[in-house]
Structure 1
C-alpha cells in the first residue's frame, strides 16, 4: 500500500496542501482531479520525491515500485534510436544478457576438464536461469507492441530520437514507463499527445494493467473509462469518492448545494447575532449575553466556498452569414518531397457544419486544416472559399505570434473587439487568468498560458468559419465546459482537430477521418464514429476469416479447373440476381448526377454579387434549391438502400 500522511506544503504565503492524507492500494484505478493550481501535479512530484514538502510522509513497501510520467520535460538520449531508447528502461536485463554472453565466450577458451571451467559453468547456470526468468526474450516483441500501440511505425523504430517532436518524445517516455510495469503508475496528463486510436489502445492497456494507476487528466471520457475511484484536491485538502469522474462530479454538485445552503444559514445566523450585539452592546442587563454572542462569533468556523466558473458564460461574436457552401477542396494533391499526404481528395463543408477531424498522428490532420485555413500551399487542385466566408484559425504555434511586451489584458484590448475591460477580464478568467494574472507580460507566460491567451484573443474576432487545432490541451474541466458551450451556441461553421471525445461529442455533427491515402466522412459525433469503426473492423475480420475458411475448404475439395467452373457459375448467378438492383442503382446515380449539377449551377448563381437584387429570382432559386436538397437526400437514401440489397444478394450467392 502507498500511504500519504499529513502532507503539508506552503508556496510563499499560500497553503497549497494542508495535512493531506490518503492511501492507494495495489491494482486501484484512481483519477486525481481538482481545479487548475490545486496542487495535483505537485502531489505526484511529492510522492516521487521530486518535490520537497514542509511536513508529512510517503510510505511505500520495499518490494513496491513507482513510475512517473510528467506533463513535459522528458530528456531522452538523442544519440539513440527509438528502439534503443525504450530498451534503456531494461538496461539491467541487457547487462545480464551481456554477462551470460561473456561467460559463454570464456567457456570456449577454457579447458573443459579444469576447475575454472566447472566454476564458470556453475556461474553460467545461475545467470542463465535468472535471464530466462526475467522475460527478456519476450521483451523485445512487447516493446514493439507497445510502440505500435502508441502510434509508432516499424520504420520509426530505427529512426534517431532527435528526429521527433516533443509530443512524440513524450510517447517514447510513456512507452518506457508502461513497459517497466511499476506497482504504482503515476501519469500527469498522459493523453495530451495521443490521437484517438492511440488513446483507445492506452485505455485498453491500462484497464488490463496489473498495478495501480493514478492519473491527472482533463479528459473526462478517459477518466470515466479507466478509473473507479476519484481523489479530489480542493482548498488544500483532499476528498475521496468511490467512483469515476462522472460519479464524482454528480456527488460534488450535491455536496456544493448542501454547502451553499449551510453557508446561507450561517450568514443568517451571523447577521442575527451581530444585530443582537449591536443592539444591546451598551445595556448593562444584557452584558453577559452580549459577551457570550461575541465569543460565539469568534469561535464560529466560517464556511468558505471556492470561486466556481460554472456560472461564467462566453459567446462568440455574431458571425456574418456565409453562403451555403463554405469551403470546397477539389482534386487536391499535397506532398512533402517524396511523401504523398493527399492524392486527389475532394471535400465540401456546408454552412452550420461542426466537423471533428480525427485519425492517427502523421496521417495529415494538421496539414488538412492548414490548407482549409489558407496557411498551407499544395501542389495541385483547388481550395474554393464560399460566398462571404471569413476564417479564424487557432493553432498551437500562434502563441509565438503574441506581442511579448504586452500583458494579457492589453493583448485582448488590442484585438479590435471594442469589448469593455470588465468583459475582457471575464473572458480571461474563462481561460484561467485570475486576479493579477491579467497583468502578466506575455514574455513571462508559460507555453500553456500563451496558448490559452492566443485562444482567447482569437475568439474575440467575428468569423463564420472557425478552425481549431487541439484547443483543449491546456484547459481545465471548467474552461473546457465554457468553450464547449460557446461552440455549441455558435451559429457559424466549425472544424476541430482534437482527441477529447467528451469535449467533441455534444458539439460535432460530422466526423472526418483522415487516414494515409484517403479521407472518409461519418454523419454523427465521435462516439458514433468509434462504434462504426469497431463494427467495420469486426465485419472486415469476419469476412476475411470466412473467406479464408471457404478458400481452404475449396482448395481441399476442388481441382483448379473445377474451381474456375464454380467461380464462373457464381459470377453468372450474382450477375443474374443483381442485374435489376444494379439497374436501379445506375438510374439513381444518373438522377443524383443531374441534381448535383443543377445544385452547383444554383450555388454559382447565388454567389454572384447582384443575385439578391432580383427578389423574384431569389425566391424561385431558393425554392428550387431547397427542393433539390430534399430530393438529393431522398435519392442518396434510396441509393444506400439498394447498395445494401446488392451486398446482401452477393453474400447470399457466395455462401450458397
Structure 2
C-alpha cells in the first residue's frame, strides 16, 4: 500500500533552487534511505514530508490517517518527568482504558446480576479485547526493552529527563518515538551519540519494525544492515536505487559510467556529422547529402553531459621522514581524572605502518586515553613510551584546537606565516573553503566545516604518527570516503577512535576493544573483530555444552544451525571483501590508464614515436589488467549475488 508520495516538489533558497522535480514514493513496510551531501536539502525535504514546512511548488500526498513520527537531528527531550514517566506518556490512552476497566470491575462486583450487568459485561469484554490488541498487557515490557537497548539501566529510570546529557536526551527522544510506533518513522541522523552495542540493537529493532522507515544518516554500515531502497539527492534532484547502500554505490557508479559512454559516443557522431556538413554543404555534388545530415542533426535528441556532484574535499597526509619501528608502547596504564580511574590497566604496542582503531562503549575513556598518550592529561599509573623521530598530528573531536575568534584564513595562515596567501587559499579551496568563506569566523562554522578546517591544518604539517578522535563525525559520506583514501595512502602510523564501523572496515589493520578493565587487540578490521567475537562466544557455548549433561537431538540440531548461520555470515563477509578489493584495484588501474592516455595527448609526446610506442605498451598493459580485473570482479559479484539468493 502506498503511504506517501511527493510530486514534482521544489524548494527555493533565496533566488536559487535548492532542489526540484522531487518524486519519492514510500510504501507500507518500506526501508528507505535518503542520502546526499551536506547542504543538499535532505533535512529540508524531511521537514516537508513531516508537515513542518510546505514545498514552494509541487504536492505531497499521504494515505488517509497516516501517522508520522519524525526525529530531527540531535532532537532531545525537555521534561521534568522521570525517564520512566516520560516514556509512559506514550501510553496515556492505554492508561485511560485501564481506568475504565478497573471502574467496570468495581461496578460488576457491587452491582446486581440483571440486564444492565450483562450489558456492562459485554462492554467490559469489548474494551478488554481492544486493550489487549493495542498492547495493554505488553507496554511495560516494551518500555523496559527499549530503555535497556539504549543503555538506560534500571538504576536510571527515576532520574529527571532534564538531568541527562544532550546525547542521552537525544537517545531518549528516539526511544519515545519508537514506542509510539508510527506508520512512517522518519529519522534524521539517528546514530549520533550511539555506541556500537546500541547501534547493533537499534539495527535489529528497525529491521523488525512493523511500519515504514525513511532514514537520513552518514553511517554506511547502518544503512547496509537496515535499508533496501536508496534515494540519492544530488545535483538538485532525486534518483531512486534498489538495494542497500553498497549496492547503491555500485549501481550509481555504473549508471554514471554508462551515461558518460553514451554521451561521448553521441558527441563523436555529432562531430562527424557536423564536419561532413561543413565540408560538403557548398559543393554542388554533395549538397543534398550534406543537407540530409544537417536535418539528421536537427532531429537528434541530444543527450546532456552526465554531471556528478563531485564537489568534494581532496587532500593527503604527508611525512618528511619515517619514524622508527617502535612507535608506541603502553604498559599497565590507568587513566582518568583527579585519581578517579576511568579505565585500566591498559597495555598494547603499536609499530610503524599499523592503523589501530579503538572501539568501546561511550564514557569508557577512549578520548581520555588519547589525551593521556599526548601528555595533555597525566596518567594515574603505568607507562607510555613514544618512539623516536615522531611527528604527531592530532585531530580533536571537540575541535578545541581551533580558535573561535579567528577567521578561516588566519586559522591556517597564522601557523604558517612564511607561506603566501594564494597558497593558503588554494589549500583551503581543496577543502571547499572558497570565496568569502575564508573570512568567516571559526565560531560561525558548522560542525562539518570545523571538521574540514581541522583536517586542512593537519594536511599542511609533516606527520608520521596520526592520532584521530572520531574523525568522521560531522563529515558527509563523500568526505568520509576521501578521508579513508587519505589514511590508506598515508605511509605512517595511525591510532584512531571511531564508532563508524564502515570506516573501521576500510581503514583499520587492527581493532583495540577497550573496556573499563583492559584493552584487547584483534587483528584485522571491524568485520574480522566481529567474527573473532562470534568464534569466542561459540567456543564458550561449546565448552558449557560439553561440561553439562548430554544435549537432546533438538538442541544439538539448533547448535548446528547456529554455527551454520554464523559461518554463512563469515562467508558472505569474505565474498564482499573480495568484491570491494577488486573494485578498488579496478579504480587504481583505471586512473593509471587515464593518466597514460593524458600523457599520450601531450603535443611533445604525440610527435615522439619512441615515447608514444612505450606509452602504447603501458596502455595495452593497463587495459589488460583492467580486463582481467573486470572478469574477476564479475565472477566474484555473481558469486555474492548467488550467495544472497540461497
- TM-score normalised by structure 1 residue count: 0.73
Task: Find the counterpart in structure 2 of residue 641 from structure 1.
Answer: none
- 1:85-117 per-residue CA deviation (whole Å, 9 max, x = no partner) reads 333333333344355556667889x77689999
* Alignment partners' CA distance in 1, 2:301 and 2:440: 39
Task: Find the counterpart in structure 1 of residue 200 from structure 2.
Answer: 200
How is 1:101-250 mapped onto 2 (pairs within 5 angstroms)?
A: 127-250=127-250
Residues 1:446 and 2:450 are matched in the alignment: no
How has the CA–CA distance of structure 1 residues 423 and 91 changed in structure 2, closer, same or farther, with 3 Å as cutoff? farther
Q: Is the 1:112–1:118 Cα contact (8 Å) retained in structure 2?
A: no
- 1:371 is paired with a residue whose SS is helix
- 1:59-96 per-residue CA deviation (whole Å, 9 max, x = no partner) reads 22224322222222x24134223333333333333344
Q: Unmatched 5+ residue regions in structure 1?
A: 553-656
How is 1:492-507 mapped onto 2 (pairs within 5 angstroms)?
A: 492-507=492-507
Deviation, 1:137, is 3.1
How is 1:507-526 mapped onto 2 (pairs within 5 angstroms)?
A: 507-526=507-526
- 2:373 is paired with a residue whose SS is helix
How is 1:422-433 mapped onto 2 (pairs within 5 angstroms)?
A: 424=424, 427-428=427-428, 431-433=431-433
- 1:142-201 per-residue CA deviation (whole Å, 9 max, x = no partner) reads 222222222333333333333433222221122122222222222222223222222222
* Alignment partners' CA distance in 2, 1:299 and 1:309: 29
Task: Find the counterpart in structure 2 of residue 484 from structure 1.
Answer: 484
Task: Find the counterpart in structure 1 of residue 577 from structure 2.
Answer: none
Report the more deviating stretch, 36-45 or 454-463.
454-463
* Alignment partners' CA distance in 2, 1:503 and 1:275: 51
Deviation, 1:382, is 2.4
- 1:288-307 per-residue CA deviation (whole Å, 9 max, x = no partner) reads 979x89x9599967435234
Residues 1:62 and 2:59 are matched in the alignment: no
Residues 1:352 and 2:353 are matched in the alignment: yes
Task: Find the counterpart in structure 2 of residue 607 from structure 1.
Answer: none
* Alignment partners' CA distance in 2, 1:506 and 1:47: 34
Deviation, 1:530, is 1.0
- The alignment's C-alpha RMSD in Å is 3.9
Q: Is the 2:34–2:232 Cα contact (8 Å) retained in structure 1?
A: yes
Task: Find the counterpart in structure 2 of residue 32 from structure 1.
Answer: 34
Q: Is the 1:366–1:469 Cα contact (8 Å) retained in structure 2?
A: yes
Task: Find the counterpart in structure 1 of residue 467 from structure 2.
Answer: 467
Deviation, 1:122, is 7.2
Q: Is the 1:392–1:466 Cα contact (8 Å) retained in structure 2?
A: yes
Task: Find the counterpart in structure 1 of residue 560 from structure 2.
Answer: none
- 1:223 is paired with a residue whose SS is helix
Deviation, 1:509, is 1.2
Task: Find the counterpart in structure 1 of residue 388 from structure 2.
Answer: 387
- 1:242-265 per-residue CA deviation (whole Å, 9 max, x = no partner) reads 222222222222221233344445
- 1:250 is paired with a residue whose SS is helix
Q: Is the 2:343–2:364 Cα contact (8 Å) retained in structure 1?
A: no
Task: Find the counterpart in structure 2 of residue 91 from structure 1.
Answer: 92
Deviation, 1:53, is 0.7
Task: Find the counterpart in structure 2 of residue 605 from structure 1.
Answer: none
Deviation, 1:430, is 5.4
* Alignment partners' CA distance in 1, 2:222 and 2:82: 30
* Alignment partners' CA distance in 1, 2:35 and 2:301: 32
* Alignment partners' CA distance in 1, 2:304 and 2:88: 55
Q: How many residues are treated as equivalent by the alignment?
A: 547
Deviation, 1:413, is 2.8
Task: Find the counterpart in structure 1 of residue 378 from structure 2.
Answer: 377
- 1:172 is paired with a residue whose SS is helix
How has the CA–CA distance of structure 1 residues 416 and 165 changed in structure 2, closer, same or farther, with 3 Å as cutoff? farther
Deviation, 1:338, is 8.9
Task: Find the counterpart in structure 2 of residue 46 from structure 1.
Answer: 48
Deviation, 1:50, is 1.5
Task: Find the counterpart in structure 2 of residue 396 from structure 1.
Answer: 397
Q: Is the 2:324–2:388 Cα contact (8 Å) retained in structure 1?
A: yes
Task: Find the counterpart in structure 1 of residue 317 from structure 2.
Answer: 316
Q: Unmatched 5+ residue regions in structure 2?
A: 553-646
Q: Is the 1:195–1:499 Cα contact (8 Å) retained in structure 2?
A: yes
How has the CA–CA distance of structure 1 residues 47 and 54 changed in structure 2, closer, same or farther, with 3 Å as cutoff? same
* Alignment partners' CA distance in 2, 1:112 and 1:196: 60
* Alignment partners' CA distance in 2, 1:229 and 1:417: 50
Deviation, 1:52, is 1.8
* Alignment partners' CA distance in 1, 2:306 and 2:525: 40
- 1:432-478 per-residue CA deviation (whole Å, 9 max, x = no partner) reads 54565344332322233223322322332223222211111211222
- TM-score normalised by structure 2 residue count: 0.74
Task: Find the counterpart in structure 2 of residue 303 from structure 1.
Answer: 305
* Alignment partners' CA distance in 1, 2:231 and 2:463: 41
- 1:211-230 per-residue CA deviation (whole Å, 9 max, x = no partner) reads 22222222222222222222
* Alignment partners' CA distance in 2, 1:188 and 1:67: 11
- 1:401 is paired with a residue whose SS is coil
